[in-house]
């Protein structure tokens, strides 16, 4: 009887200690970090989706607007640069890497905007079903990019705040010393308005 009472007390203390640790925020830092990393994966996935649409869009426009070679070349080159700049989750704490990624994506957005503006000069292109489908997919993808970026920014805000506020500050100083604040997207002048892709 005495042995089982001691085991019950020991188990009770272990459960109580576990609940105390879980309830006091110990798990917040790794949880918020993983959520931010998952949101970053969504951002990359949506940028990749946009990148995957570009070759078909360029090929379709090229069939109607061969004289727009400079614009088409600019889109192809911007896409190549944007796909070369990669950031894995271990680099999310490096603001310079994130700025490079963002600059490459902004350059691609600008080139796409010029390509879509040029298409206004070609009524046959604007009525092409393939072009209309690509335009619709691109518009949807741009909206998904905006949402994914917003979700990433919010996840990073939660994570960074947890590292700087009580009690997360204590956990960061003791058990999570290697955890650094993650870089956020910096809003550029065009960030408030998504690229226009209407025809």
15-22: long-range contacts at Cβ-Cβ below 8 A with a sequence spacing of 24 or more?
A: none
Residue 25: the pLDDT is 83
- Smallest Cα–Cα separation from 106: which of 199, 186, 35? 186
| Buried/exposed 79-106: b ≥16 CB within 10 Å, e otherwise | bebbeebebeeebbeeeebbebbbebbb
pLDDT in tens, 32-79: 999 999 999 999 999 999 999 999 999 999 888 888 889 999 999 999
Find out whether 58 and 72 touch, Cβ atoms under 8 Å.
yes
Question: Under CATH, domain 28-174 is a member of which superfamily?
Answer: LemA-like domain (1.20.1440.20)
Residue 139: the pLDDT is 94
Residue 178: the pLDDT is 94
Residue 21: the pLDDT is 53
pLDDT lower than 50: segments of the chain? 191-192, 198-199
Residue 192: the pLDDT is 47
Residue 17: the pLDDT is 59
């Amino acid at each position: 009887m005495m042995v089982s009472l001691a085991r019950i007390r020991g188990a009770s203390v272990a459960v109580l200690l576990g609940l105390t640790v879980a309830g006091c925020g110990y798990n917040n830092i790794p949880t918020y970090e993983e959520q931010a990393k998952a949101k970053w994966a969504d951002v990359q996935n949506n940028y990749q989706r946009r990148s995957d649409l570009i070759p078909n869009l360029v090929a379709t426009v090229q069939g109607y607007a061969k004289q727009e070679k400079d614009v088409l070349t600019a889109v192809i080159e911007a896409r190549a640069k944007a796909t070369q700049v990669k950031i894995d989750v271990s680099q999310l704490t490096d603001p310079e890497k994130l700025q490079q990624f963002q600059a490459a994506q902004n350059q691609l957005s600008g080139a796409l905007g010029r390509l879509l503006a040029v298409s206004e000069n070609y009524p046959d292109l604007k009525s092409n079903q393939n072009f209309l489908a690509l335009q619709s997919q691109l518009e949807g993808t741009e909206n998904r990019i905006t949402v994914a970026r917003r979700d990433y920014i919010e996840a990073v805000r939660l994570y960074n705040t947890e590292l700087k506020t009580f009690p997360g500050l204590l956990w960061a100083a003791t058990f999570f010393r290697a955890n650094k604040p993650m870089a956020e997207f910096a809003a550029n002048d065009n960030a408030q308005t998504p690229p226009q892709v209407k025809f």
